[in-house]
Amino acid sequence: MDLTAIITSLLTLLAGIGVFLIACQMMSSNLEAASSEKLKALFSKASNSRLMGVGIGALGTAAIQSSGATTVMAIGFVNAGIISLVQAATIIYGANIGTTVTAQIVALGMFGGNSVSTSVIFSAFAGLGAFLSIFAKKSGPKTLGGILAGFGLLFVGLELMSGSMKAFAALDGVKTFLAGIGNPILLVLLGAVFTAIIQSSSVMTSIALTMVVTGLIGIDQGIFLTMGSNIGSCVVAIIAGITSGTNAKRTALIHLLFNCTGVVLFMIAAMVLGWFDISYGSLFERLFPSAPQVQLAMFHTFFNTATVVIMLPLTGTLVGLVTRMIPERAVRQDTGFSLRYVDDNMLRTPPVAVSQVKREILRMADIALENVDRALDMAVQLDFSEKNKFERDERQLNFINRELIGFVVRLSGRSGLGEKDRTYLSSTYRSIRDLERIGDYAENIVEYATILSDSAQPFSDDAKYEISQLKTLLHELYAQAIDAYQNENFESLAKANVIEDEIDDYTKRMEEGHIVRMEKGICTPSVGAQYLELSSNAERIADHMINIAKSIKSLKTD
């Protein structure tokens, strides 16, 4: 084979890797869009059950075909305080099992012999999916087309890689060189380094499969390369953890230690088996004769599953170890504001990030209501002991408003979102702004309270009673509005509309009653001006609350 043929084979291999990576991305994003609601429901069920965590990680990874995305999602949840380190660890365990599905699919596509190969048949799905994506009018069929196209391109890339491997297999020099790499540790390191570079263990495993099938390397070499890919896959989690909080760093370390422990245990077992002239390759050749692709794929599944079985009872010990390795005091604490439920790591799993955006908005709503309560209490009691907390929460509302809108902008530009999720995200801009405005009106009320305090002219007892009743109505409206928003409950929306009308009527009666009190000399004009402003601002707070509830109208599908 001349130099031109070698360069052609290298370029073909590079093209195959590129197509395979794009196919994985296409499948992942479209599978996320198609299963967004189920995916969100799945991860909302994370509990203290370790088996539940493993199941969530395995099913989630199988659904979106990305163990890296699942791991980063777990890191994001830990960083937000939504799940514990133990829960995150078990989800990562499950992700390692779920990622073996890709290798099984690839192995299935390598059958064929003299007939039309399954790889060619599966590659044809790329064309079918492309036609469906281009000509379908609705988002559902378009998403399905994206899944089929990604699935087909997976095998187009595989065929390109396989073709380049066959060309290399014809070179005696290449075969001699690769045959000389028999050291298991070196093979593991090669698999880890290559996986770290391309950030995809699926690609590394698939390359190993094609190399084994074409005879470029032996089954045992492929096994050790695949084991190394498990270590290399940790780079995604490490990158995500570096820029996050203490528990996120611990989660990334758990992932690394878990995968390294599995490799070390299997390397020791390989050494012991070697004393009896037994290797992993010989064992799996007996189990699955004449099918090297199945042998490697099944080892991959066995390796990851066995590691989980071994490590699951030791999860508490592992968590304790990483907690000691990364103590709380070793990490600089951030004394400023932060988003609690979202960070940029979650952009890798858009459907789940959408549900976290809602949680952040609900948190913002609670902060806003607390400040409304503080403001009304200051106005009635002229007690400013809570003013520092009020001012801090007002700054926090402004921070969340700015940062969360920026996050939503970045999230809206991601692929993998269903139509409903995109509709919801488009409504969040106004909801976030409504909550920020509630904080501003509460700030106005504090200013009115300050004026009353400075002039030593408090509200009358009647005015204080009316304000307390108004506060009760605002709480009733908030409860119904938030239930409507959180659960898309249209019955609560209807109730919220009724209460909002009651608040409109009540603030009008407050103004009328105040005029009567001024005529009787009970209230002074100066106090009256603050009272009228307070009732007006409270009515506007109610308007913004009902706006949040009404945002669910855009999500109604029937």
Inter-CA distances, 302 with 41, 102, 313, 389, Å: 29, 14, 18, 55
Residue 330 is predicted with a pLDDT of 42
Residue 224 is predicted with a pLDDT of 94
Could you give the CA distance from residue 338 to residue 325 in angstroms, rounded to a whole number?
25
Which tokens go with 188? 């593991």
CB 533 within 8 A of CB 448: yes
CB 88 within 8 A of CB 74: yes
DSSP alpha helix (H) spans, 413-460: 419-455
Closest CA to 234 of 92, 332, 333, 129: 92
Could you give the CA distance from residue 371 to residue 464 in angstroms, rounded to a whole number?
18
Q: What is the mean pLDDT of each run of 10 residues along the chain (558 residues)?
A: 73 84 74 62 65 84 72 74 82 90 79 57 85 82 84 80 70 68 90 83 83 87 92 81 77 92 95 92 91 91 94 92 79 61 80 87 95 94 93 94 93 81 92 95 93 86 90 95 94 95 91 77 76 91 95 78
Where do we find the tokens 């790329």?
A: 126
Give the three-state DSSP class for 44. coil
pTM of the shown model? 0.70
Could you give the CA distance from residue 505 to residue 499 in angstroms, rounded to a whole number?
10
Residue 55 is predicted with a pLDDT of 86
Residue 59 is predicted with a pLDDT of 81
Residue 322 is predicted with a pLDDT of 92
Could you give the CA distance from residue 127 to residue 240 in angstroms, rounded to a whole number?
35
Ordered by where they begin, the domains of the chain are 3-328 (no CATH), 349-555 (1.20.58.220)
Three state DSSP letters for 114-155: CCCCHHHHHHCHHHHHHHHHHHCCCHHHHHHHHHHHHHHHHH
Could you give the CA distance from residue 392 to residue 64 in angstroms, rounded to a whole number?
40
Where do we find the tokens 């066959």?
A: 166
Residue 345 is predicted with a pLDDT of 75
- Name 489's Cβ contacts closer than 8 Å, sequence gap at least 6: 483, 552
Where do we find the tokens 């009651």?
A: 502
Name the amino acid, one letter, at 14.
L
Element (H, E) at 7: helix 3-34
Residue 114 is predicted with a pLDDT of 44
Task: Give me the half-sphere count of Cα atoms (radius 13 Å) on the Cβ side of residue 547.
Answer: 19
Closest CA to 259 of 303, 322, 299, 221: 303
Residue 116 is predicted with a pLDDT of 47
